[in-house]
């Protein structure tokens, strides 16, 4: 009986524990960016910054902005947009795109790219939004 209980507990922990995997962002089918487990952001293979657990975004070690837990995107302390819980990305109040739960990234309604290992939760969408807003010329 103890063995069955132990196996059941292990199975439950495996289902509940978050799987930590790198987030890969693809543009036009090609790998473009990756956010590693420790928050390191790589663009085309080169380290360009970091997304910290509190939402701070760093480029070359310096803080350039933050994506707060409620989705507010700040640059230099000022609010510039928001990533909503449904994945809608807003800048200055207007919708500019969406990060869908399945990983499709849309800009202006059209498919821009995709992200893997990320987008079922608001936290994953925040991470992808940080990369798009602070490291892409397209968002």
- Give the CA distances from residue 55 to residues 51, 52, 92, 114, 128, in Å, rounded to whole numbers and listed in that order: 6, 5, 19, 21, 11
pLDDT at 51 over 50: yes
Ranges of each domain in the chain: 21-135
Look at the block and give the residue holding tokens 């990983």. Answer: 103
pLDDT at 5 over 60: no
pLDDT for residue 128: 97
Q: How many residues are there in the chain?
A: 139
Q: What is the pLDDT of residues 86-123, one digit of tens each?
A: 999 999 999 999 999 999 999 999 999 999 999 999 99
> Is the model more confident about 12 or about 110?
110
């Amino acid at each position: 009986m103890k063995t069955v209980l132990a196996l059941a507990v292990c199975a439950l922990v495996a289902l509940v524990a978050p799987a930590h995997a790198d987030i890969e962002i693809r543009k036009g089918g090609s790998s473009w960016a990756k956010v590693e487990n420790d928050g390191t952001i790589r663009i085309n293979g080169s380290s360009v910054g970091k997304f910290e657990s509190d939402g701070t975004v760093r480029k070359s070690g310096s803080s350039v902005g933050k994506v707060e837990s409620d989705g507010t995107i700040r640059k230099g302390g000022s609010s510039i947009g928001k990533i909503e819980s449904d994945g809608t990305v807003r800048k200055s109040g207007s919708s500019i795109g969406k990060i869908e739960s399945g990983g499709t990234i849309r800009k202006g309604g059209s498919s821009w790219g995709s992200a893997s290992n990320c987008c079922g939760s608001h936290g994953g969408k925040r991470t992808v939004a940080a990369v798009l807003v602070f490291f892409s010329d397209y968002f």
